[in-house]
Amino acid sequence: MYEIIEGFVEAIRLIVTLDPDVMAIAARSVIISLTATVLATLFAVPLGAAIYFGTFRGRKGLINLIQTLYALPTVVVGLLIFLLISRVGPFGSLRLLFTPTAMVIAQTVLILPIMTGLTISALSGVDPVLRDTLRSLGATRLQFLVNIMKEARFAILAAVAIGFGRAISEVGAAILVGGNIMASSFASSTRVLTTAISLETSMGNISESIALGIVLLIIALGVNLAITTVQHR
Amino acid sequence: MQRRTLFAVAAVMVALLLICGCTGTTSDPTPAEKQQLRIATTTSLYDTKLLERLTPIFEEEYNAEVLIVSAGTGKAIEYGQRGDVDVLMVHDRVREDAFLADGYGVNRRVFAYNYFVIVGPESDPAGIKGMQPEAAFTAIREKGMAGTPGVVFVSRGDNSGTHSKEKAIWKGAGFNYSADVQGSGDWYQEAGTGMGATLEMANEKQAYTLSDIGTYLAYKGDLDLVTLVDEGDILLNIYCAMQINPAKYPDINSTVAKDWVNFMISDDVQKEIASFGVDQYGRPLFYAAQDDWEKIGVPQAEVKDPIA
């Protein structure tokens, strides 16, 4: 119990004093996961819309597959990306392994299914009356699409928030393709909040771990507040 | 209509893919002038913070940036085989020999050594204190198999150098590791993690474990485990650095890799290693290999001769 209290006190000290190491790790986490979320959004929303509006064979199966991939373990994604970008892998010449770019790629792949699936759900949740109204008013295909998407935007925003949450909280892929490197320059380092927590805990530095955990939650809170604000506007 | 929409969506996605591709390359974090050196290291050199002490000196001297991936020796060797790093720093002579023989590594240099220790709870329920390592392992296994309360052995279980050493001790004690030890009962537990984490786990369970002395000393303040066995030839622990073979992976950073290996056996760094940890732990965590090649049984060239 004493350990936990001590951890919290240390955590508050590290956060209040803006400890440079902790801040750099937190900033790196946000940059990597936010980039991954933006990339995944750019793929997932159009893809989700295409699947939702599309009529093609195997559509149901595809949706099932996407939903199954919600449970994709982060280490499996990490392993897959590792094998692809390791030097002997097909993209080895790009030398991406152990770089932040590799982590962005892995996190993008990781959250793509859940964001695509939730986009489909968001569109399915649109009131059918709106669809009928739009059709009966003779909306063009584009007008139809724009209006449905507009109606579903809050639910799509929620999908983005969930994607970001999964990206910033995962550790399996980050450690496999990033390597948890603490280099002298910010851009070459791949230590993020989750991998740092994992390392600090294994080294017995419990208070640092708690501090980093609290920082992670503060970031999540900030993102949620931002999204709620947008939703209520 | 349907088809056209789909086509439009597909077109947008391709466009996005291209944009992402471009931004991906521009954000590539490679500093222009600095050479990057990638090292895969055994956890003990990292967890003791020895490398944290040495890298800034190297970076300053060679205008390089050192990127360290800390893994067990097994994983480090895997990274080396795949050409994902430029230098390996490991401690498993047998597997190193195989790695060199297979042509993956070149220019091995030994820079430090210390000893493994068997640590455990002060109460020592298996009564191994002061035994030879092989006899101690036999006693732990015997008591563990008999279900003596409190007799648990936590193994690294991760194919690391320490795990290899543990297997060698079991073998030396006359046991077949996979048949007689692994999975032979609740007394033997595999952690599957680094040295520090394994020590934490052994501490939590008040169990026995095999550790390199460096990591044990670095963690000692947080542990209730004591050294029970620290004498026996088999406990010798030799650390080396080697280059990944540039003939195998031509675009590897072999110049700076060579600089690193030579740096590790340089007089200054050898002095640094010999004194590392003395102020904090009252004794060194590692011994410099420089003048002790005979004692630890490695060729003089591996300790003394810089790579040309």
On whether both B133 and B198 belong to a single domain, the answer is yes
Domains of chain A: 2-232 (1.10.3720.10)
Q: Are residues B226 and B129 in the same domain?
A: yes
Per DSSP bridges, beta strands B208-212 and B153-155 are: parallel
User: ipTM of this predicted complex?
Assistant: 0.84
What does the alpha-carbon distance between residue A47 and residue A26 come to, in Å, rounded to a whole number? 31
Q: What is the pLDDT of residue B45?
A: 93
The last residue of a domain, from among B194, B216, B235: B235
Number of H helices, E strands in chain A: 11, 0
Q: What is the pLDDT of residue B14?
A: 46
Q: Express each pLDDT in A152-187 by its tens digit.
A: 999 999 999 999 999 999 999 999 999 999 998 999
- Cβ–Cβ contact B32 with A under 8 A: no
Answer yes or no: is B294 within a domain.
yes
Total count of domains within chain B = 2
Which chain B residue lies closest to A108 (C-alpha atoms)?
B20
Examine the domain organization and report whether B126 and B191 are in the same domain: yes
* Domain-embedded: residue B4: no
CB of B197 within 8 Å of a chain A CB? The answer is yes
My answer on whether B51 and B130 are in the same domain is: no
Indicate whether B243 and B183 sit together in one domain: no
Residues B225 and B249 in one domain: no
Q: Does B35 touch chain A (CB under 8 A)?
A: no
Tens-digit pLDDT profile for residues B158-172:
999 999 999 999 999
Q: Is B285 among the domain residues? A: yes
pLDDT per residue of chain B (308 residues) written in tens, 0 to 9? 455 554 454 444 444 444 444 444 444 444 457 889 999 999 889 989 999 999 999 999 999 999 999 988 999 999 999 999 999 999 999 999 999 999 999 999 999 999 999 999 999 999 999 999 999 999 999 999 999 999 999 999 999 999 999 999 999 999 999 999 998 899 999 999 889 889 999 999 999 999 999 899 988 888 999 999 999 999 999 999 999 999 999 888 899 999 999 999 999 999 999 999 999 999 899 999 999 999 999 999 999 999 98
The pTM for the full model equals 0.85
Contacts of B216 (CB under 8 A, 6+ apart): B117, B119, B199, B223, B225, B227
Domain boundary among B219, B235, B251: B235
Residues B131 and B192 in one domain: yes
Q: Which domain does B211 fall in, by range? A: 115-235
* A108-129 burial: b if 16+ Cβ within 10 Å, else e: bbbbbbbbbbbbbbbbeebeee
Q: Are residues B241 and B95 in the same domain?
A: yes
Place of tokens 């007799």: B151
DSSP type of residue B34:
P
Contact B27 A101 (CB under 8 A): yes
B222 shares its domain with B262 = no
